[in-house]
Structure 1
Amino acid sequence: MLMTALFLSSCGDRSDQNAQNSGVEEVQEEVELEGAVTPETSPVIQPVTTPQQLPEGNVQLPEIDPLEVEGDISIAGSSTVFPISLAIYENFIQYGYAGKIKLDSIGSGAGFRLFCEEGESDISNASRPIKEEEVEACTAIGRQPIEFRIGTDALAIVVNPANEFITNVTKEELATIFTAEKWSDVNSDWPNEIIERFVPGEDSGTFDFFVEEVLDDNGQRLLNAPNTELSEDDNYIEQNVASNSNAIGFMGYAYYKQNANELKILSIEEIVPSPEVIENGDYIFSRPLLIYSDANVIRNKPQVGHFINFYLNNVNKIIEEVGYFPSSSQTLDASKNRLLEVME
């Protein structure tokens, strides 16, 4: 397993090592923050002096002073949700939290295994709803997963900017593109060139979402497709599509937005993802962004509940800057009510 590790200490030192992958690999990005630091890469929540005051919605969570929160927190899961959680907890530390938070980007499926089978994480990031068998695994170790929706993502289908023959595709064409050998196998007017595919790994909620929507939930069709590389590292997918004129891939919209100058996004059924079409449901590749925890974890480790409180109160302030789409006040209120029920 290749690992990209990022450690920030109280004095703000940062080290970053990026590894290259090929084939089917599990790539983990691990971040640990401790002490009070000033975040340099994530959006800062405003206003700084009163981070808990939100005008959104009707449900008010109790104010939490991060300076008074003690104890460590472990978070793992979706690479798609990772940058949102990263921005939230860097701000949590900026406001005074002095404990340690460990955040692992290992994919939704691996995150649920860590949360439900091993019971080692306090919060599970996910870009898809938890599956029935994962709930059963949680139940077997005495956990009942509680879902908190924190935003919406759009799946981006991307090609190399040098690709001039494709700008829009249908779902039916996508199914063929991600299983055929050559572009001309999809459309005889397209080049007689091999299709190079770069896609998220099987542990990714992004993989699950695409397979369900495009390939009738038959992941083997994509896994068995020629010239297909899988990786849990979205940066690896972006870099390979950006450097290969015959490549295609898919990723969360935030990763496309960060690299829009190096990638070309395709419209699907003549619709390009935007806040408007995501909100009204016209774009077919939109999906919920979620975090999960457990009532006993929240009660036995109050710092977890305090962090989720801070998360829900502030996520809509930073989520668009990260690259995703905010939840409606009604949806966010539902998540807040779930937390209040546990904290009573």
Structure 2
Amino acid sequence: MNHEFTDGLDELDPSEEKNFRKLLQRTKRKTILRNVLISVLCTLLILFGLMVANRMLLTRSLNFAYEDLHQFKKISEPNVSLGEFQSLDGIWGGTAMYQSYKVIEGIPLPWAEEKIQYNVLNHFSRYQGGHSPLSVTDPEMVEQGMNFARSYNVHNGQRELLFYHPDVRYTKMLNELNQLGAIDPEKRVEMAISFDRSYTSKEIRSMLPAGVHARWFWVDTYSADYVKFLGEIPYLPVSSSNVYGYSAYADSEDIFENNEQNFISFIQTGLKHKGNFNWEYHQIYDSLRGSNPEPTPDDVHHIGVVVTGSPEALLGLQTKSYVRAAVLGAIVSKY
């Protein structure tokens, strides 16, 4: 075939041969240009598809992270709610920052900022470090023989809440109800009340003095071994990062009350989510149900409560026999 084609060219006169070669070159250039354009278009389409897929996967991962954090906040961090959430997507991953806050008698108080990293594989993780509270030695506590530093929120300088388990024999316990008289009457105060024994949510609501409002119920989610461990350090209370419970109300208007069944539902929802806190949910669920197939409302034992009110109203707790310990938390100005 090549010989015949060459022989055909040889039969052409010089001008025809020149024109034919130019035609071949133009055809070749067009073919190359077409292939380049197709390659560029395919590359752009692939890049666009990857960008769309990257955005969709990161959005899914961010939503998963937010739901995981929001759900876990329902059973942890006493009287703390999840607030504003901001994010910045990158290539195959992104960074998000969320803020949390407390509400003390209708007054919002910014509480913390935390960053997370998420990726297209639907995984997220917290930044390492920067979460520990600020520890400051309290001279009055030292005088009373309490050999631990007081914890303060690193972002706003407010006191972190502390709790005392009713089954632990502490050598010393904080009872700061006697300090309420020194607080400006126009302030509004948060306190962690540790009980002498467990009570139902209905009992707690009814036994609090007028003007003292339940904000968060502390639930006994500890194994016998962990309670024994607490007893080995009989002067050290339980920090707010190691307690679990639930908000007294399901809404900011204090209309819909949460109860024992709601707490169980929060745990069950968390287990179904299978997120970063799956281990914690399993530990709490197993602790509540014991040897039963699943926990019931009767298995939810409240051993403390976070309350808010004016200093004068909270003074009404001084005569209550169920108050084993009382620790000041955040204090805000009414105006």
- TM-score for the superposition, normalised by structure 1: 0.23
Give the greater-gyration-radius structure (CA): 2
Structure number with the higher helix fraction is 2
- TM-score for the superposition, normalised by structure 2: 0.24
Structure number with the higher strand fraction is 2
